[in-house]
């Protein structure tokens, strides 16, 4: 199956700093990627849909200026958490939609962000 990687797998940063998380599709081109956030013992929450070459579409309640998403190529999308605070600590997972239909989604291994 299709492989999606994320980097880094874990990151610890200080409050007020910014952190960038990369999501790559390794063996296919992904025009659409998704960014999710997962709190402990909860299901995934969709944050935004990332489309190559255009602005991301954010879900209601997700701050666009805080969670910057860039999808500059068909194999790479990045999520930057700006001015991170402890409440941003979470597990962030990306996925890539594999064309053509039925558009199965493949997921990255996730990034554990801890803000101290």
Partner 1 sequence: KQEVTQIPAALSVPEGENLVLNCSFTDSAIYNLQWFRQDPGKGLTSLLLIQSSQREQTSGRLNASLDKSSGRSTLYIAASQPGDSATYLCAAVLMDSNYQLIWGAGTKLIIKP
Residues that bind partner 1 (CB under 8 A): 1, 6, 34, 42-44, 46, 49, 91, 93, 95, 97, 102-110, 112
Question: What's the CA gap between 94 and 23, in Å, rounded?
Answer: 6
**Closer residue to partner 1, CB minimum distance, 14 or 101:** 101
- Give 43 or 54: the residue with its C-beta nearer to partner 1: 43
Q: Which is nearer to partner 1, 23 or 81 (CB)?
A: 23
Of residues 53, 63, 9, 61, the one with CA closest to residue 33: 53
What minimum distance in Å lies between the beta carbon of 24 and partner 1? Answer: 13
Please return the burial class of 14, using the count of CB atoms within 10 Å of its CB with bins 0-12, 13-18 and 19+. Answer: exposed
């Amino acid at each position: 199956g299709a492989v999606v990687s994320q980097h880094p797998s874990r990151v610890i940063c200080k409050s007020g700093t910014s952190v960038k998380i990369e999501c790559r599709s390794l063996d296919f081109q992904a025009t659409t990627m998704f960014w999710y956030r997962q709190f402990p013992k909860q299901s995934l929450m969709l944050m935004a849909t990332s489309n190559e070459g255009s602005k991301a579409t954010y879900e209601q309640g997700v701050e666009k200026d805080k969670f910057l998403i860039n999808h500059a190529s068909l194999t790479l999308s990045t999520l930057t958490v700006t001015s991170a605070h402890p409440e941003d600590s979470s597990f962030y997972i990306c996925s890539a939609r594999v064309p053509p239909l039925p558009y199965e989604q493949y997921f990255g291994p996730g990034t554990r962000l801890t803000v101290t």
